[in-house]
Amino acid sequence: MKKNLMMLLLIMLFILMLAFPQAVAEGAGIGLGRCLEQLVPSLFAIMAISNIVIKSGGIKFILKPLYPLGKILGLKGHMLFCFIVSNLAGYPMGGALLSEMVKNKQIDKKQAEIALCFCFCGGSAFFVGAIGLGVFENARAGLIIYLSCLATNIIFACILSRIFKISSGEDVSRSESFSSALINGVESAGRSMLTICFTVIFFSAVSRVVLSHIKPPIYQIASGILEISGVCELDISKLTTTRAIQIISVLCSFGGVCVTLQILSLAKGNISLKYFLLSRPINMVINFFISGGLCKLMLPEALECSATPDVFVKNAQFFNPFSSVCLIFMIFSVIFSKKTLFLKKSML
């Protein structure tokens, strides 16, 4: 029954895409632009360096000065590193790192699934730049959304780490040489980046086709539920600043269907999302109240909700997508060259 329903939805989506090719092209173009201008510049480097640090064993030296923070959170070792990186870098990082740790037998599967509940947050650059400046024309609004998501994750970490006795995730695997860690870390980040980008492009096309006949602001909210960067198009002119921040903060706490599928793909069967999905409604409610409280503390009364979706589009022109295209080409080259080398060795 479940499979038949899924097939029916896919057939309907296929027919819609054939009927509205222009909308598909527009949506895919928007998704591609988001990848080249936002995701690749902000995510790839941090994903690569995180993989290199883990594979080379350098994590031990990074975590020493962070012991007091780990004491508060109830986390240490690889789990503390994952919490910090996932709450700074961006949404898929937590799932990707936890999956890698399970694969390397540094933590067990259940602990990784529980840790995903609080190792899930958008990057500060996305919140402050794309949302704060792009939607509100005020960086402080984006900072409030980021801090509310971070505070909610801290609450979850403090509680869940003590209830489920999450281990430190001590390194039980052999550390690679720096050169090997560099190549494998960059390649792993490249594969993950391609998965993320193609998923974003697909969901941008789907949201454009399915939601194009829905009037705003329902269209923008539904678009944000499907693909989180859709909140950058939200028209907040008819909302109070506090209410607009709370709505966007709740959407960011959920992360969108697209990000959820990215994590599922990056997890490669190493972890499931059952605890993560169960935690989202509670996370969203807590986030709603924290963001409202932060608005009272951090927002000046004079701030007006006068920004329009065009602001971010204009700001995006300062990015140079050519460098991102070159980077993607290099990723393909590295993956292809490694695969060719492996085939040659297997033939000998």
The more confident residue out of 306 and 146 is: 146
Task: Please tell me the distance from the alpha carbon of residue 31 to that of residue 202, in angstroms, as a whole number.
Answer: 8
List, for residues 270-282, the tens digit of each pLDDT value: 888 889 999 999 9
Q: Which residues contact 179 (CB under 8 A, 6 or more apart)?
A: none
- Establish how many alpha carbons lie within 13 A of residue 206's alpha carbon, considering only the half-sphere containing its beta carbon: 20
List, for residues 23-75, the tens digit of each pLDDT value: 888 888 888 887 887 778 767 877 788 778 777 777 677 777 778 888 888 88
pLDDT at 188 over 60: yes
Average pLDDT on 132-141 reads: 84
- pTM, whole model, 2 decimals? 0.74
